[in-house]
Structure 1
């Protein structure tokens, strides 16, 4: 019996230990299950909010490295578009919603009403990201971040800045808030300028602050720089004079292009009205158009020299051939074409100088229908130039199986066709360069491309001599004369098309020319859209702009002025106008 009792005692102890351990294990399991349930289910500072905060306080995240967008400069390196660092403030709504006592403070810092902030939090409440304020100056953003509001973070980005503002807006263009090209060269060369974003892994704390940069996943590749053909000095000059002319004549708009004769580079391209690309809120609609490239207009009498060149090339006409324009008008079918006065008998050179519609009509009707049209096409009119600029117009040259006499006549003085200001500059560049057609470039040309000769040099020299006469005291373009340089060019005035046909009260005034006339360095084309009634002619509205711009531009380009004894006094630059209605 004693042995039995002694043997049963250890069994009881072992059994008691087993039950004790089992109870402890069950209690531990129940405690663990309760704690897990508490953490994952209960919405309090000891529940899943605690887990979320702790997880975020030790989060390993992949962060984008914003690529630096390439700089746009003028031909001499002056910046036209640069990217400056800014901070975009964003929030995790799920975290910010847990700190309602800080909303009023945050709203005030963001210059918002508390109601607006609450409304946005309501819309994004299920998200983990929403922007609070984009492109904030670093100093301002750092002040807001220093408030240490839960769920509010900052992200470094870049904002595009345009030092020349509205002066270069239509050519340079602008980007959107995400730094993607939207207009102008920013859009045309967006891929070139953009670069490629990089990525890195970072460890962030509860406040979104980077605790440690863990590793670089991919380096950001900066965008490439872009050098435009324009000279910022000439651009400011062109913009200023164009703006003054539009305001002085009461016009609705204007465009001006200066072209380098030897290289085909655009040295200046201005439009008015313009816009400020640094303020996107007011940059919209028709004001964004680069009219010099995208808009069509009927060139009027600025194409008369080209039509005469086509006639001379046939060999059937000479510059001293006489045309009788009496009695100052001519009937073509059912239409009557008139000069302001009866000029009588004139040679071809004077027909250009006086811009005689009657003289041009008689000349055009002596030629085969396609001769003038084909000459226009050879000089690039009515064809896309191929600059790559968004929205570039091709213009329009008519082509008929059977030309009516009135169509042949009006085409010779620039009606019934459409061109851009840049196309007209290229065409006059052919005349100025001795018959060579060069590609027009909006980018700086470091190696000049070989030009194609489309007209003989002798022929363009004849036309240049005629154009000098236009800018003399006997021509319609006397106000285009420069003080220190000889010029050659042609005025243009056309009625604009309205709902009922050509409107007698709305005009396009223009002047196209080159300087110095004896060895042209630049070509300039000025177009004024709807100048007021008393200054609607090209010789009154556009020619004075050409005079001021060529004078200033040639000095900036260090082109030697003519000898002192040949300089023109300002008071002798304007001829006495002929009586009657002005013509182009």
Structure 2
């Protein structure tokens, strides 16, 4: 037994040696494999602990007006950040850093102590490169800089509602900045760097991916017209003590928005004391009952029915019309009026009787075809569609109110579009907030002859005595338009607010070859009157006079040249 056990010990010893040899061989093979054959594994893990990618900010695309004038540009800025842990080792320099940053020392110290364990915290954002470099030159441990871009708006409050603005991270938040975010935003790049375990930069290795700048965007807005419209609307709101206002100019032939302004407005370059109400692009977001400004479309529907001609007359005496519990009233007692005179006198009674004769459906169809209560297709953030009511059975009250502009709600842009359709010989072209290189295709929605006839009636409203639009005249040009005054509907209950009105004027110019359609809406004028012909019509006249000249539109209403008679020295005439 003893000899047998002794014979077994060498076998066990050799087995242990073999196992150890195999283990050493496996470890040796793994070392050779990692260091020589497959070194990517160790390289990847090493890089994961030291190689970092720092984003390279992308330059946001330039926004310009139709003539190339800048509306939104990106400027380089420096953002300072800190490693809270590293800053704890340099507490003696905190007062110096707080002074350089222009911050209160006590609150700055409290903030650093609260973020003592954080490896990243913003100190200040949006400094000019010179300001940022001065602070970095202090060499405070744990303070670093990042290059970013900040948006600047040269036109300021004049184009704020159209252009919008970006947030602190350079992302679009309002207006065209938001609508075209994907177009304007660039693609950030990547820079490869080496950092130690504390996060300190050791080496700038290379640019791994170049930043791709955003694409430029040319708007349809003409900044010259924008300034003009802004000034006149601001003056009118102040003169009449109004709550707000909107003004829209459209190119009749292309559907481009040439100007769009609102009051109140704001400065996108300084939004510290910004009021939310001032941010609303009222021309696209606020809806209202358009009042008498839609009567031309009711007239167009009457002419299209074949039952009415321009010389057809309506007896509007005694200036009121009873419908059930409601009484429709005119401002003046017109008596027997033809269709043109109904527009000139803005007769609710006359237009209601026409609507009773042809029915509400034809009027509704015309309003729908010219874009009232319909999506404009502009894609503007927050834009509202409004309401164009449709009933299976139209009662008399509903028919009458539709004809003279109550019971439906539209935006200023929709109303301007509708007048542009009339001015474009009844052709509807899609609207655009972006500059177009060629004229878009148009759809005939109103008979050309009828559209021209209605435009002629609108000219009479402005130029004929007693038309109500005399204050909208433009020296040297024939223009046409229609004023309107509508009571403001109550938002908290049914009915209307006492002594609260909106004043409108919508028109086109020049009559011979219409180029511009315009709508002015003044909200709650409280001083000097509230009728559209008194409040909004003068704004139309001033803006249109400047716009036609800026666009080099030839005058069509100049006086005939007179021949001068010169007496000769001998008493004869030359």
TM over 0.5: yes
SS at match of 1:387: coil
Counterpart position of 1:552: 546
**Displacement of 1:205 after TM fit?**
9.5
**Displacement of 1:209 after TM fit?**
9.0
User: 1:416 is matched with which residue: 407, 424, 428?
Assistant: 407
**Displacement of 1:368 after TM fit?**
2.0
Counterpart position of 2:417: 426
Counterparts of 1:140 and 1:422 in 2: how far apart (Å)? 44
Counterparts of 1:278 and 1:534 in 2: how far apart (Å)? 35
Counterpart position of 1:28: none
Counterparts of 2:200 and 2:540 in 1: how far apart (Å)? 59
SS at match of 1:366: helix
CA deviation profile, 1:234-259 (whole Å, cap 9, x unmatched) = 11001110100111111010000100
Distance change in 2, residues 1:480/1:556 (3 Å): same
User: 1:200 is matched with which residue: 191, 199, 202?
Assistant: 191
2:430 maps to 1:439 = yes
Counterparts of 1:376 and 1:350 in 2: how far apart (Å)? 21
Question: Residues 234-383 of structure 1: matches in 2 within 5 Å?
Answer: 234-383=225-374
SS at match of 1:186: helix
2:473 maps to 1:489 = no
1:505–1:533 Cα contact (<8 Å) kept: no
Counterpart position of 1:132: 123
CA deviation profile, 1:330-389 (whole Å, cap 9, x unmatched) = 101111111122111110110001101111111111122311111100111011111010
**Displacement of 1:509 after TM fit?**
0.4
2:504 maps to 1:510 = yes
Structure 1 residues not aligned, in runs of 5+: 1-57, 568-584
SS at match of 2:467: coil
Question: Residues 369-408 of structure 1: matches in 2 within 5 Å?
Answer: 369-408=360-399
Counterparts of 1:306 and 1:563 in 2: how far apart (Å)? 26
Distance change in 2, residues 1:243/1:566 (3 Å): farther
1:151–1:207 Cα contact (<8 Å) kept: no
2:528 maps to 1:534 = yes
Counterpart position of 1:458: 449
* CA RMSD across the alignment: 1.9
User: What's the TM-score once normalised by structure 2's chain length?
Assistant: 0.86
Counterparts of 1:302 and 1:335 in 2: how far apart (Å)? 22
User: 2:472 is matched with which residue: 480, 491, 506?
Assistant: 480
Counterpart position of 1:582: none
2:515 maps to 1:521 = yes
Question: Residues 100-119 of structure 1: matches in 2 within 5 Å?
Answer: 100-119=91-110
**Displacement of 1:61 after TM fit?**
3.7
1:196–1:221 Cα contact (<8 Å) kept: yes
SS at match of 1:116: helix
SS at match of 2:487: strand
Segment drifting more, 445-454 vs 72-81: 445-454
2:477–2:558 Cα contact (<8 Å) kept: no
**Displacement of 1:296 after TM fit?**
0.4
Counterparts of 1:389 and 1:432 in 2: how far apart (Å)? 24
Counterparts of 2:375 and 2:154 in 1: how far apart (Å)? 31
2:77 maps to 1:86 = yes
**Displacement of 1:158 after TM fit?**
0.5
Counterparts of 2:405 and 2:147 in 1: how far apart (Å)? 55
**Displacement of 1:503 after TM fit?**
2.5
User: 1:449 is matched with which residue: 440, 443, 447?
Assistant: 440
2:220–2:258 Cα contact (<8 Å) kept: yes
Counterparts of 1:479 and 1:284 in 2: how far apart (Å)? 34
CA deviation profile, 1:538-574 (whole Å, cap 9, x unmatched) = 001100000001100000000112353169xxxxxxx
Distance change in 2, residues 1:563/1:463 (3 Å): closer
Counterparts of 1:227 and 1:86 in 2: how far apart (Å)? 25
SS at match of 2:272: helix
1:275–1:282 Cα contact (<8 Å) kept: no
Counterparts of 1:305 and 1:209 in 2: how far apart (Å)? 73
2:211 maps to 1:220 = yes
1:329–1:337 Cα contact (<8 Å) kept: yes
Structure 2 residues not aligned, in runs of 5+: 1-48, 562-574
1:151–1:208 Cα contact (<8 Å) kept: no
**Displacement of 1:77 after TM fit?**
0.5
Aligned residues: 511
CA deviation profile, 1:114-155 (whole Å, cap 9, x unmatched) = 221222223322211000000011111111111111101111
Counterparts of 2:265 and 2:200 in 1: how far apart (Å)? 43
Counterpart position of 1:163: 154
2:232–2:539 Cα contact (<8 Å) kept: yes
SS at match of 1:97: helix
Counterparts of 1:202 and 1:282 in 2: how far apart (Å)? 41
SS at match of 1:262: coil
Counterparts of 2:307 and 2:363 in 1: how far apart (Å)? 14
1:509–1:537 Cα contact (<8 Å) kept: yes
1:480–1:547 Cα contact (<8 Å) kept: yes
Counterpart position of 2:555: 561
**Displacement of 1:392 after TM fit?**
1.0
Distance change in 2, residues 1:134/1:112 (3 Å): same
**Displacement of 1:62 after TM fit?**
2.1
2:332–2:345 Cα contact (<8 Å) kept: no
Counterparts of 1:563 and 1:284 in 2: how far apart (Å)? 45
Counterpart position of 1:16: none
